[in-house]
Amino acid sequence: MDELPEEESTGTPAWVVTFADLMSLLMCFFVLLLSFSEIDAMKFKQIAQEMAKAFGVQREIPAVEIPQGTSPVFQHFTPGKPDPTDLDEVRQSTTRKEPFLEREPATQPSEQTTNERVVQYAELLKNALREEIASGQLEVRTQSGKRQIVMRIEERGSFPSGSAELTFAMVDLLYRMGKVLTDIPGDLTVEGHTDNIPIRSGRYESNWNLSADRAAAVANALIEAGPLDETRFRVMGLASTRSRQPNSTPENRALNRRVEIIVDLSDEPSETPTTLEDLPPDILLDTDSPLGKP
């Protein structure tokens, strides 16, 4: 019998399947290793720099600085220490054979500059006390002609009726006000005002006593909050002598019950009242003068 020819084998060899499985496992293994690793940025930067040097990567080289000349004046001499002077300007005149210095006296600050300072300080107070201003408890205004800042505190929410004890809200207001007044120069006048209704209290004989006590309580709170110098203060109890409105209605009387704090920023000597201590001795000892006695 004739023998049949052997059939030729077709398809992928069996070892290829095993090799592909092995490569897949190795790839998964290295992917896991990479995911578990952490890259140190500093070490990577150092390695990159060393590799750049090793392979000759071009880098910037700073050029040699141009040599500069030196001066013996700077090496052996130092500038003199500037001393303050009360003169604003120094001019040199050449009208004579030898030059001489002609000094001009310092000038006083202009009125416009002082008025700008008044407005600037008023804005500081308004920013610190904006809540009380918005509620109507406090009013801050300026008097440019007198160079003053007037802060008017209404009685509502400030004092109990017929009393000079400060409420908690009033203490908080004065505390923040005192902190701002530490940065503002000038004399401070605290005025207490009432209406014309006679007070009926065993503690106060009249509205004069009540208005004076309220002004003193406000001044004490400001001095403690600042702290402020007591010599800057002047306390006045004016009762009903300076009413804002006629005391004809309850609403008007409520407006008249108030405390006003006046910040005087005047720099002019003519605007400062003269006291007996400021008068010359010859006037005080003059027998013909109405101000003096032998």
Lowest model confidence (mean pLDDT) among 3-17, 39-53, 61-75, 226-240: 61-75
Helix (H/G/I), strand (E/B), else coil: 151 = strand
The angle subtended at Cα 3 by Cα 2 and Cα 8, nearest 5°, is 145
- The whole-number pLDDT of residue 145 equals 74
Distance CA 178, CA 208 (A): 25
Top-confidence residue, 53 or 152: 152
Distance CA 119, CA 260 (A): 18
pLDDT digits (tens, 9 = 90+) for 137-167: 999 998 867 789 999 999 888 888 888 889 8
Go through the domains of the chain in sequence order and give each one's CATH number.
111-271 (3.30.1330.60)
Is the Cβ–Cβ distance between 124 and 183 less than 8 Å? yes
Long-range contacts of 278-286 (CB under 8 A, 24+ apart): none
Whether this model's pTM surpasses 0.85: no
pLDDT digits (tens, 9 = 90+) for 96-123: 554 444 454 444 555 657 788 888 998 9
- Give the pLDDT mean for 20-28: 90
**Residues 78-105: b if buried by 16+ CB within 10 A, e if exposed:** eeeeeeeeeeeeeeeeeeeeeeeeeeee
Average model confidence (pLDDT) across the chain: 76
Residue position matching structure tokens 């897949």: 24
